[in-house]
Amino acid sequence: MIVLGIDPGTATTGYGVVARAGDGAVSLLECGVVRTEPSSPLPLRLRTIFEGVVEVLERTRPDVVAVESAFYAKNARTALVLGHARGAILLAATLRDLRLAEYAPAEVENAVAGTGRATKEQVQFMVKQLLRLKDVPRPEDAADAVAVALTHCFAAALPTVAPPRPPRPPRRPRKHDNPMQGLAG
C-alpha cells in the first residue's frame, strides 16, 4: 500500500509518500513541499497547491491520501484559509477517485509518538526512528506530512473489530410462559 500524507498550509503544504509492505514494514519513498508565493492572492495560491498535489499524485500513484484535518486556530481567518487549502487538496484526490483519510493533529502525534500531546520535535524524532532514517525529513512541513502517512499505515494495520451489538430488549411474557397458568381449578 502506498500512502500520500499531506500537511496542508497556504504558504507551504508538506507531503510524504510512505509504502507499507504486507508484513507491516514501512519505508519512505519521497517527501517534499509545495510552496506558494506569499504575495499572491489566495485563489492563485490555491491553484498552486492544487496543481502541486496533482503532480505528486500523478508521479507517485498512491492508494490512499491521508490529510491532517483542520485544527482549532485562535484566529478564525487562519482556520478559514487553511480550510481552503484543504479543499484544494481534497478535490485533487477526489477527482482521481482516491480513498481519503483524515486525522486530527492529536491522532497523528499519538500514532507516531505515543501521546496526543507530543511536541513537533518528538514527532520528528519518531518519524526518523520508525523509518530508520539518518536524518529527520526536511523541511518541517514534509516531516509532518510523513507522520500523517505513517498514521494511516499504522491505522490500516490495526485489526477491525465489529462494534458490540446492542443488548436485546427484554422478551414480553406470553400466556403460555406462565407456569402457574391453568393450575387453578
3-state secondary structure of 3: strand
Catalytic-residue membership of 30: no
Taking CA atoms, 139 is separated from 29, 41, 135, 146, 152, in Å, by: 16, 24, 11, 11, 21
With CA atoms as reference, report the closest residue to 149 among 115, 112, 113, 185: 112
- Among residues 140, 141, 144, 177, the one annotated as catalytic is 141
- Among residues 7, 23, 63, 140, the one annotated as catalytic is 7
Catalytic-residue membership of 144: no
- Among residues 58, 68, 107, 140, the one annotated as catalytic is 68
Catalytic-residue membership of 63: no
Amino acid at 53: V
Taking CA atoms, 35 is separated from 47, 87, 125, in Å, by: 11, 16, 24
Q: So which residues are the catalytic ones?
A: 7, 68, 141
